[in-house]
Each structure stands twice: as structure tokens, then as C-alpha cells.
Amino acid sequence: MLTRWSSVIVTTVMLLGCNQNQQMEQEQRPSGPHPYSNYMYQYSVIDALLAGVYDGDLSTAELQKKGDFGIGTFNRVDGELIMDGGRIYQARSDGTIQEVSEAQQLPFAQAVYFQADTSFFISTEDLEYSGLQEHLLSEFSENQVLAARLTGHFKTVYYRAPQAAEKPYIPLAEYLEKHQAEFNIENTTGKAIGFYLPRYLDRVNVPGFHFHYLSDDKQTGGHILGFTSESLQVEIDQIPGIIVEPMASEAFHKADLQKNREEEVKQVEQGYN
């Protein structure tokens, strides 16, 4: 039996206010760990990315001040972002990985100072991505926010990375249908970095599990669509709340954030097959 917290955690969403008439200058952002250092920090909201807001003003250096573990994407949705141990990597559409400079900017990202409060090995003959999700939800409340790191040998990993978009931007689900590369590799050792977000946050972030893969040799990785394994070390950080910083850009303020994008989320997260 896994260790559980004895009380139910109510997730708090805190919006960092921004003035529509003033761009937030980068030097105005707080330096060092934010006052809720055990909370998950998030820049922008998933509905803005889905609507085609692909350019933000958060730098990778600023994201590293918010946590040492996270996922996201880069401006123009140029690949997938993976942060582990404070180092940020870009999984590109050619299947390669590169460590990024501090100056690269992001339209959407989430980060936390990862401190696992639960750690265990899960071993079965044919462990699949869907089965792992079911197992974790049987051990934790569906209403919690979780950060999760899965480490070990993967028999297969099916993942994707988008190509950089050109203006005028179109909605993400429409764009990814024709502008992402998909990969299926075998016998790889690495880490799946990700989060679980409850359904009640579905206009803010992707509900359910969302993982990015990074191979141990730093040669490949991307957004996980599926995997199989026989044994994985699972580390879970139960997060009491999240802090959301909206963009201060004109594109964000003009974006259609009222539309129901549930089906678009499914396409983007689960693929088109």
C-alpha cells in the first residue's frame, strides 16, 4: 500500500494579475523560488495555446527560477520542452534533443521544485501507458495535482514533436495534424517527466496525465503518446496547488478563450490515429 496523505487537499489556483495596457517587463518577474515553492507554477493557459497563441515572453532562464522539473513548449511550438534537475532540453521534430540557452522564450510551460513524497517500483510483464495511469489513479485522488517521474527501461516509446510554426498561426489541433513528427523507438532507457491535473482545471491545463520522454543518453525524446515497459521506478510529488501567470500580450487578450476545446485537447494529447 502506498503512503497517502490523511486529508484531502483542495487545489488552489492563483492568478498573477496583469494589466492589458502594459506588458510585464522581464525584470519585473520575481527572482528566486516563488513564495509558494511547493506549488506548481504555470505560464499561460492551455486554451490559449490551443487557440494559436504560440509566442510568449517567458524565458527559459525565468522558468528555471520557478522550479527544477517541468514540461512545456517553445515559441512557435518548436518542439517539446523537458526540464529535469533544473536543466532544460528541447525535443525537436527531427527526433533529436538539445540543451537550450537561457534566452529561448516560451508560450506555455509548467514547473515545480520536485520533491517526491512517494516512490515505488512497479513491475509487470506488459506495463502499458494506460495501465500505469489506471494504477496511479487507484492510489491517489483524481482531485489532486501530481508531478510524476517514471525512470527505467522502456520496451517501446511512442512520442511526437511538432515542427516550428509560421505566421499566421492556426489553432493547435489543426496545425499538429500535418506538422508534427511521430517516433516509435524500442529498447530505450530514460525518464518520463510529467504531471496529472484534475478535470476541474480543464480550461487551464490538460486534464489527466501528460508526460514528455527524455532518453538517458539525451539523444531523443518528445511528448509521449504511449509506451510499454516491464519495470519502472515511479516518483510522485503531491502538489497542494498551482499558480497561473497569464500572458500580457495582445494575442493572448484577443484569443478566443470561451470556446469549448475538449475535443481539440484529445486530438493534441492522444494523437490522430
Domain match, 136 and 224 both:
yes
Residue 33 or residue 19, greater confidence: 33
- Residue-wise pLDDT for 97-147, tens only, equals 999 988 999 999 999 999 999 999 999 888 999 999 999 999 999 999 999
* Domain end call among 84, 112, 140: 112
Task: Determine, yes or no, domain membership for 92.
Answer: yes
3-class DSSP state of 217: coil
* Domain end call among 53, 80, 112: 112
- CB-hemisphere CA count at 13 Å for 162? 24
In angstroms and rounded to an integer, the radius of gyration of the C-alpha atoms of the chain is 18
- Residue-wise pLDDT for 164-177, tens only, equals 999 999 999 999 99
Domain match, 62 and 89 both:
yes
The CATH number of the domain holding residue 185 is 3.30.1330.80
Task: Determine, yes or no, domain membership for 86.
Answer: yes
d(CA 166, CA 179): 11
pLDDT band, residue 266 (cuts 50/70/90):
confident
State how many domains the chain has: 2
Sort strands 87-91 and 97-99 into parallel, antiparallel or unpaired. antiparallel
Report in angstroms the alpha-carbon separations of 4 from 102, 105, 141, 229, 253: 37, 37, 9, 25, 40
The enclosing H or E element of 251 equals helix 250-254
Domain match, 178 and 230 both:
yes
Task: Determine, yes or no, domain membership for 261.
Answer: no
Asked whether 242 and 146 are in contact (CB, 8 A), the reply is: no
For residue 171, whether the previous peptide bond is cis, meaning omega lies within 30 degrees of 0, is: no
Domain match, 96 and 142 both:
no
Task: Determine, yes or no, domain membership for 258.
Answer: no
Domain match, 63 and 141 both:
no
Mean pLDDT of the chain: 88
In the chain, the percentage of residues whose pLDDT exceeds 90 is: 81
Domain match, 103 and 147 both:
no
Asked whether 147 and 237 are in contact (CB, 8 A), the reply is: yes
Which structural domain, as residue segments, surrounds residue 24? 12-112
What spatial distance separates the first Cα and last Cα of the chain, rounded to whole Å? 36
pLDDT at 191: 98
Task: Determine, yes or no, domain membership for 4.
Answer: no
Report in angstroms the alpha-carbon separations of 210 from 110, 167, 249: 11, 27, 26
Asked whether 41 and 110 are in contact (CB, 8 A), the reply is: yes
- Beta-ladder partners of 119: 235
The enclosing H or E element of 201 equals none
Domain match, 90 and 129 both:
no
Lowest mean pLDDT among 19-28, 44-53, 54-63, 203-212: 19-28
Write down the pTM of the prediction: 0.87
Domain match, 59 and 78 both:
yes
d(CA 98, CA 125): 33
